[in-house]
Amino acid sequence: MNGAHFHLIVNHLPIVGVIIGTLVMITGFLLRKNQIKQTALGINIFSAITGVAAFLTGEAGEEVVEDLSGISETLIHIHEEYAETFLILSIILGVVSIITLFLSIKNHKLTKYGFLAALLLSISLIVVGKVTGTSGGEISHPEIRSDYIHVTELESDDD
Q: Say how many residues make up the chain.
A: 159
Kindly give the interhelix angle for 12-31 and 73-105, rounded to the nearest 10 degrees: 40
Q: Spell out the domain ranges in the chain.
A: 3-158
What CATH architecture does domain 3-158 belong to?
A: Up-down Bundle (1.20)
Mean pLDDT calculated for residue range 66-95: 91
Distance from C-alpha of 128 to C-alpha of 82, rounded to nearest angstrom: 7
Tens of pLDDT, residue by residue over 133-148, are: 999 888 877 666 666 5
Tens of pLDDT, residue by residue over 31-58, are: 999 999 999 999 999 999 999 999 999 8
CA 93 to chain CA mean position, Å: 12
In this predicted structure, the answer to whether residue 21 has a pLDDT above a threshold of 90 is yes
Distance from C-alpha of 85 to C-alpha of 36, rounded to nearest angstrom: 28
pTM of the model: 0.85
Among 102-106, 118-122, 135-139, where is mean pLDDT lowest? 135-139
In this predicted structure, the answer to whether residue 156 has a pLDDT above a threshold of 70 is no
Distance from C-alpha of 131 to C-alpha of 137, rounded to nearest angstrom: 10
Q: Decide: residue 28, CB within 10 A, 0-12 exposed, 13-18 middle, 19+ buried.
A: buried
Cα 3 to Cα 13, 36, 62, 65, distances in angstroms: 16, 36, 8, 9
